[in-house]
Each structure stands twice: as C-alpha cells, then as structure tokens.
Amino acid sequence: MRAAAVFPTERRLAVVEDFPEPKIARPTDVKLRILSVGVCGTDREIASFVYGTPPEGYDYLVLGHEALGEVVETGSEAAGLFAPGDLGIPMVRIPCSDPNCAACRADRQDHCETLQYREHGIMRLHGFMTEYVVVDAKFLAPVPRALGRDAVLVEPMTIAEKAFIQVDHIAARLPWKSQRRAVVVGAGPVGLLGAMALRLRGYEVVVYSLERAPNPASGIVEAVGGRYVSSQDESTEQFAAKEGPFDLVYEAAGAPTAAFEVLKSMGPNGIFVLTGVPGRHGNVEFDTHGIMLNMVLKNQCLLGTVNAGRDAFDLAVADLMKIQSQWPGVLDRIVTGRHKLENFAEPVLRPTGIKNVVDL
Ligand SMILES: [Zn+2]
Ligand SMILES: [Zn+2]
C-alpha cells in the first residue's frame, strides 16, 4: 500500500508504493482505514530534516500524526470497544517501556518522565499518512459520526484541552472565578481552536497575531465572538496597555519574543500557557528582573504543555461537537486545503491558508 514518507539520510520526500499493510497481531489491536490526516508545522520540520526519527530497521519515516480513521477490523478483546465502521482518532504518543516511569505506567505518556516515548509520524514509529494502520484500542479515541470530517481537528484540539484541564487545576487555588480575560497569541489552527475552546468556557478572547485583518483567521475569531488584533497595527506594548491585563495567555505561535513581551501584560493570579514549539532563532534579551518580580508579586504561573492524555481527546471531541452546533460551519473554515496523498509534499513544505489536510 502507499505511504507518504521522509527519508532523512537521503534528504528526500517520496510516496512509498510497497509499504507493508499492517495486520491485527494482538487481541487489543484495531485496524483502521485512514480517511484524512492533518498537516502541521511538526510535519514541516520533519520534512526539513530538523528532527524526526524512523523506526528501527527503516531508512524512512511515514509522516502524519493528526489522523481520522475508520475501523475495519478488531482483535478479540478490542471487539467490545470498537466495531467496523466506527470512527476513531489514533493517539500520537506511545508509552516508554521503563517500569519506573510513573507517568507512562499510569497511561499518561504525555507526561513521560524518561522522554523515551515513541510518537507516530515523529519519533521511532511510523505515522498515519498511509492507507491502513493498526493501533492498540487503548490508544484510539472514539469519534461520533456526527462530527464528520471536522474530526480531523481532534488531535490539534487536544493541545488546548490538555492545557485548559491544567488551567482549571491551577485556577482552583482561588475560591472565586479568576479566569475571565484571555489572549491567544497566534492565529494558526492551534490558536484558533484554543480561542474557540476558551469562548465555550465563557472567556472574553482576543487573538493577537501577525497578519493584518481582515483575513480568514480574523473572520473565524469574530465568528466565535472573539476579537482579533494584528501585531502590525499594535506593538506588543500598545496591545498590552490597551487590552491587558489578562487572566490567561495562551501562546500558540512558538514565538519567544512575542510570548515574553505579552507575559508582561498578565494580571494578578494570571496563568501563562506555552504550547508553541519555537524554531531555532538567535538569543533574545529579556528584562528577567521585571518578569521575575511581576511573577512573584502577582502570583503568576507559567505552564508549558505538550501532547495530550485520553481525557483531553474525549474533551476535544465533545467541544468540537459543541462548536459545530454553536457556530455552524466555522470548523470547516479552518481546513483551507485538501490534498491527495501523491501531492503530500506540497502542503507539508509549502503550506498556504490555515490548515491543510491529506485525504486518503
Ligand atoms: Zn500536529
Ligand atoms: Zn515514560
């Protein structure tokens, strides 16, 4: 069968035509026919050979970690959980094998302590940009058919859900509702989905991003009742003075300079969430004294978060369903490009629009 692959040593991308079709090997296995795979910046970095590790014995890595699949076959034990025709989202990260890793042994590999985890399409495991995959039922989140093709957004939505589960834990340190005003930095898919999740939770949301409005992303932000400000119209200082202070900052741009500038505009008891993986840039100077002073005197919290647990997958599905009914059609506006497998290099290397998807 066909698979979209990256050959890191040869530094090339190609469709492998004879990728072996996987078979059910264990009673807990589920075989999926892949319907769609979302493309993101991680794929682009892998395709630029910045990182990405093929599984042992392979000179290539099959790309793709944001997949929507349809169950075609199950092992005997998985049969109680999934039936042919069901839709599911395979989880990206698989636990490490260290018996002493408390996180992985508790099925919370998103908090793996050894960092020896494997990730589909990223680290030592083939990805989902192929026709069929076999995964353990434990690492497959069910999706109702009603969510339709928007379900390809579940994996990027889990980033927001995991973040807000943690924000709720931190906010619980105060006996009143302390989280009201949020800024989302970055208007890519993770930022937009985060903004929607925050609107569902009743936050006042302003999205701060590079491109001038009106643009497709600013239209989406306004459609869900948020506001959009371009950094070309307001410098971070102007923006912070006008819009701040914020109770929550959700950083989804991977832009260290903007992130730490916005950090200054966080209010008392504020929570700052970092989700964007920064590219390699030169060092930037910061007023570390001011940042530290502010954080201490205002009881602020800085939180980094990556990947997601099963609870976040279930919440992502539930919230996407809510978004579909509250703001019909808005999720469709995030997916701006649909591509065929043979053309996968195009959206991976030269993405346009907001979110690109490869349909199998
Ligand atoms: Zn991704
Ligand atoms: Zn682990």
Q: What are phi and psi of 320, to 5 degrees?
A: -65, -35
- Listed residue (67, 56, 88) closest to 3, CA to CA: 67
pLDDT of residue 152: 97
The pLDDT of residue 176 is above 80: yes
Rounded-to-integer distance, Cα 195 and Cα 219, Å: 13
Ligand 1 centroid to Cα of residue 288, in Å, is 31
**Amino acid letter at 340?**
K
Residues in the chain: 360
Q: What share of the chain has pLDDT > 90, as a percent?
A: 89
In this predicted model, what pLDDT tens digit does every residue of 1-13 receive, in sequence order? Answer: 999 999 999 999 9
Count CA atoms within 13 Å of residue 14 on its CB side: 11
User: Rounded CA gap, 54 and 63, in Å?
Assistant: 10
Determine the average pLDDT of the residues in 66-76.
98
State the ligand closest to the CA atom of 155: 1
Q: Give me the pLDDT at residue 281, please.
A: 67
Closest CA to 275 of 250, 241, 312: 250
| Spatial separation of the C-alpha atoms in residues 201 and 191, rounded to whole Å | 15
Give me ligand 1 centre to Cα 65, in Å.
6
Q: Has residue 179 got a pLDDT over 80? A: no
The predicted pLDDT at position 283 comes to 75
SS (H, E, C) 288-356: HHHHHHHHHHCCCEEEECCCCCHHHHHHHHHHHHHHHHHCCCCCCCCEEEEEEHHHCHHHHHCCCCCEE
Please give the distance, rounded to the nearest whole angstrom, from the Cα atom of residue 151 to the centre of ligand 2.
28
Neighbours of ion ligand 1 (CB under 5 A): 40, 42, 66
Burial class (CB in 10 A: 0-12, 13-18, 19+), 286: middle
Half-sphere exposure in the Cβ direction for 273 (13 Å, CA): 30
At 195, the amino acid letter reads: A
Cα of 294 to ligand 2 centre, how many Å? 34
Neighbours of 201 (CB within 10 A): 15
Beta carbons of 128 and 21 less than 8 angstroms apart: no
Domains observed in the chain: 3-143+330-359 (3.90.180.10), 157-304 (3.40.50.720)
CA distance 212 to 8: 36
For 198-214, write each residue's pLDDT tens digit.
Answer: 999 999 999 999 999 99
pLDDT band (50, 70, 90) for residue 259:
confident
Residue 133's pLDDT is 98
pLDDT tens profile 237-255: 899 889 989 999 999 998 8
> Would the pLDDT of 307 be above 70?
yes
Whole-angstrom distance, CA of residue 284 vs CA of residue 210 = 19
Q: What is the dihedral of CA 44, 87, 192, 218, to 10 degrees?
A: 100
Higher pLDDT, 317 or 177: 317
CA of 305 relative to ligand 2 center, distance in Å: 16
Cα 276 to chain centroid distance, Å, stands at 9
The average confidence (pLDDT) of the chain is 95
Residues 13-50: tens digit of each pLDDT:
999 999 999 999 999 999 999 999 999 999 999 999 98
Pairing of strands 140-143, 87-90: antiparallel
Q: Is residue 298 within 8 Å of residue 265, measured between CB atoms?
A: no
Distance 64 CA to ligand 1 centre (A): 8
What is the dihedral sign for C-alpha 319, 219, 306, 122?
A: positive
Render pLDDT for 76-112 as a digit per residue (tens, 0 to 9): 999 999 999 999 999 999 999 999 999 999 999 999 9
Q: What are phi and psi of 81, to 5 degrees?
A: -100, -40
Cα atoms found within 13 Å of the Cα of residue 281, Cβ hemisphere only? 10
Q: Give the type of residue at 286.
A: F
| Range from 95-104, 169-178, 348-357 carrying the lowest mean pLDDT | 169-178
Ligand 1 centroid vs 237 CA: distance in angstroms?
31
Residue keyed to tokens 């839709």? 87
The pTM is what? 0.95
